[in-house]
Structure 1
Amino acid sequence: MDALRSVSALLLAAQLTVAPAAAQTRADDASPLGIALEGFAYPYPVFFLERMRDGERQRLAYMDVPAEGQANGRTVLLLHGRNFPSSYWQPVILALSRAGYRVLVPDQLGFGKSAKPVGPYTFDAMAADTVGLLDSLGLPRVDVVAHSMGGMLAVRLTRNAPARINSLVLEAPIGLEDYRFTVPPVSDATLLRLEGDVTADSYRRQLMTNYALSLPSSAIEPFVSVRERVKGSGEYPRWLQSFVNSYQAIWGQPVVHEIPLIPVPTLFLMGENDHNAPGKPFAPESLRADMGRNAEHARTLAARMPNGRAVVLSGIGHLVHLEATDQFNTLTLEFLNGH
């Protein structure tokens, strides 16, 4: 009877924590989305972990993809960037899973299918949420692949919980410079106004230009569509406030000074053309030219680390794993398999 109760409890928990399968998303679908991307399909089942933030119960969404074929007993944690839901990791998930890795892919609180807190963000809180996710799944140690803002989180996560991290792949991370030195403070009111004025066309240009993408514009259309469709939600003001809060964390909580202290093997995978620097439009014109020298910064920082290395891909911008998927997957797997 006890065993039967245990099985029943497990089945009930699964029903409560697995998102129902979403309908296939059409490229031309302009219908409103919920701010947790209800109605937008992810490539794998989505689970949720309960967390507390801002005095409210929040749900952290994640995909947990098992290894295909012969599992190697290792798990790779993928950390997304600010402008993308974790679904954009699909080609990397597939490569890692086929190579024998279990792949854990969360949406941090405030992003993708996770809840949208309205209070200030901290990378320490994000790191704690991530450790909480690892604990809930019984994962004592993982390898980390992190993109853009996810790279800043990966640095803080490794500093706060070094025993949990085996190695790091930092894909086009931001935060390789201290933006406070060049960008003055910008109020929430200003950011809310500017972000609220973003249109599909301006957002498309922003991604293509700021990220120096070698992709056709059609390849980023799903991200443009998602941003437009959440405007139809009754909770869009909450989404907007949450998105603005993430900018303030990036600007006001630098991690660059901690990067040389990271002891685990670290690989920077950089796009040669990537000069993305959050806040650059707000910087004095005389300082902008020196911002966003990301490949140069990665090489310099890697040389100062106990076990760091930087690889720069020519002709590639900020979305390395989508612009040069095969090369990215090959370099990542060679690095992971070497540790």
Structure 2
Amino acid sequence: MRLFREFCVASLLTATATTAFAATYGPELQGFEYPYPIERFNFQSQGKTLQMGYMDVPAKGKANGRSVVLLHGKNFCAATWEGTIKALSDAGYRVIAPDQIGFCTSSKPDSYQYSFQQLALNTHQLLEKLGIQKATLLGHSTGGMLATRYALMYPKQTEQLAMVNPIGLEDWKALGVPTLSVDQWYERELNVNAEGIRKYQLDTYYVGRWKPEYERWVDMYAGLSDGPGHKQVAWNSALIYDMIFTQPVYYEFKNVQVPTLLLIGTADTTAINKGIAPPQVKATLGNYAVLGKQAAKLIPHATLVEFPGLGHAPQMEEPARFHQALLQGLNTL
């Protein structure tokens, strides 16, 4: 049976990998359809006029007066929160889902000093513009690092912190993972393609269990990377990877004072630059079955919910199970 399942996965990959993605999208993801209307936040940052795309989805039915801000991961967009937006809205929450600067529907400046502090400030300014004085921050993957920084910078404006398989639960550089220069990252990002995206997602996000609905997200990422803003997208992506690798939040988990919910797929093995790490280092990296428990001990007011056997994106692998745990967690923190 196991061999049959592996054969089916391999067959599906062979079939889909040979499919040419006809769709390409503009440098701000023009042409890709979001699940809710995209609005624009125009602001000044580092001497530049920038805009953030975001979705502002009201509570459906009886509103509970609470707001949740969804922070996407590095290879994701606000659109990939589609199922979570609906689940939260149906439960009475107002949901704000922005695309950070450098990502998806937002500006990709030619030069920008990326830092989690800057992205947190940008997000805070958006919430101020929307009149949201206090919110729950829910971050996935790289968005978990950003959500942590936001909670550290704005504890009084953070009702709760929730993280889904956040990266940065270990300091890769300190563990001996090789560092790439921005130029090296740029060369790698210029070569992003659908086949590579799909293989990486199959290995880490969905742990060998591919579903047809995941193709939409491969199409989104590949279409943006291969579109008319190809070099602009790759350059910003390189700067962001450098930010992720060189600005760990791991050492500050002990300072997070807001109630925190950790939602962890235990089969996840994500770690930046893991593929080029020495074998003895590589073997120790990205073990979320261990890292989730360690983070829960480091964060003072943390509640850990594990999803055995799920990968880096449990909200996409098993949405019903994930959203039940999320809503229960937010109501009990």
TM-score normalised by structure 2 residue count: 0.89
Mind listing any 5+ residue stretches in structure 1 that lack a counterpart? 1-26
Q: Determine whether 1:30 maps to 2:22.
A: yes
Moved over 4 A (4+): none
Question: Residue 296 of structure 1 is aligned with which of 290, 294, 304?
Answer: 290
The aligned counterpart of 1:171 is 164
On the 8 A contact 1:213/1:319 being kept in 2, the answer is: no
Listed as ranges, the matches of 1:249-264 within 5 Å are 249-264=243-258
The worse-fitting range, judged by mean Cα deviation, of 304-313 and 62-71 is 304-313
1:231 shift after superposition:
4.5
Counterpart of 2:231 in structure 1 is 237
Listed as ranges, the matches of 1:45-56 within 5 Å are: 45-56=37-48
Contact 2:41/2:52 (8 A) holds in 1: yes
Equivalents in 1 of 2:206, 2:75: separation in Å?
15
1:149 aligned onto 2:146: no
Identity %: 35
Corresponding residue for residue 326 of structure 2: 332
Task: Decide which of 228, 233, 248 is 2:242's aligned counterpart.
Answer: 248
How far off its partner does 1:315 sit? 1.4
1:107 to partner: Cα distance: 0.5
Q: 2:322 & 2:109 partners in 1: Cα distance?
A: 33
User: Given that residues 193 and 225 in structure 2 are in contact (C-alpha distance below 8 angstroms), is that contact kept between their aligned partners in structure 1?
Assistant: no
Task: Give runs of aligned pairs for residues 191-210 of structure 1, distance below 5 A.
Answer: 191-210=185-204
Aligned to 2:260, which of 253, 258, 266? 266
Match of 1:84 among 49, 68, 76: 76
Cα displacement (A) at 1:217? 5.0
Aligned partners of 2:20 and 2:130: how far apart in 1?
37
Name 2:133's counterpart in structure 1.
140
**Alignment-derived partner of residue 323 in structure 1:** 317
Q: CA deviation at 1:326?
A: 1.0
Paired position in structure 1 for 2:114: 121
- Confirm or deny: 8 A CA contact 1:214 1:323 kept in the other structure: no
* Residues 34 and 95 (structure 1), Cα distance of their counterparts in 2 relative to 1, 3 Å cut: same
RMSD: 1.7
Secondary structure at 1:113 match in 2: coil
SS at match of 2:310: coil
- Change over 3 Å in CA distance of 1:83–1:66 after alignment to 2: same
Out of 28, 36, 50, the residue aligned to residue 44 of structure 1 is 36
Distance in 2, matches of 1:270 and 1:231, equals: 28
**Take 2:87 and 2:60, find their aligned partners in 1: how far apart are those partners?**
10
User: Which residue in 2 is equivalent to 1:224?
Assistant: 218
1:28 deviation in Å? 8.3
Report deviation, 1:64: 0.4
Contact 1:146–1:170 (8 Å) recurs in 2: yes
Choose which of 140, 151, 154 in structure 2 pairs with 1:158.
Answer: 151
Task: Indicate conservation of the 8 Å contact 1:214/1:316, yes or no.
Answer: no
Code of the residue aligned with 1:258 in structure 2: it is E
**Is the counterpart of residue 67 in structure 1 residue 51 in structure 2?**
no
Give the aligned length: 313
**Structure 1 residue 230: Cα displacement:** 2.7
Q: Which amino acid aligns with 1:160?
A: M
Matching residue's letter, 1:189: D
Paired AA for residue 133 in structure 1: L
Structure 2 letter corresponding to 1:221: E
The answer on whether the counterparts of 1:149 and 1:173 sit within 8 Å (CA) in structure 2 is yes
Moved more, 313-322 or 110-119: 110-119
**SS of 1:180's equivalent?**
coil
Q: What's the CA shift for 1:307? A: 1.1
Cα offset for 1:32? 2.5
8 Å CA contact 1:85, 1:107 repeated in 2: yes
Question: Gaps spanning 5+ residues in structure 2: where?
Answer: 1-18
Describe the superposition over 1:54-110 as per-residue Cα deviations: whole angstroms up to 9, x where unpaired. Answer: 532110111000001110100011110110111111111111111111101101111
Match of 1:179, SS state, is: coil
Q: CA deviation at 1:184?
A: 2.3
Find out whether 1:99 has 2:91 as its counterpart.
Answer: yes
- In structure 1, the residue matched to 2:277 is 283
CA distance in 2, matches of 1:256, 1:162: 17
Task: Say if 1:180 and 1:251, in contact at 8 Å, map to a contact too.
Answer: yes
Are 2:103 and 1:111 aligned?
yes
Cross-structure match for 2:179: 185
Bigger mean CA offset, 209-218 vs 193-202: 209-218
Distance 1:206 1:188, change over 3 A: same
- How has the CA–CA distance of structure 1 residues 162 and 268 changed in structure 2, closer, same or farther, with 3 Å as cutoff? same
Q: 2:4 maps to which residue?
A: none
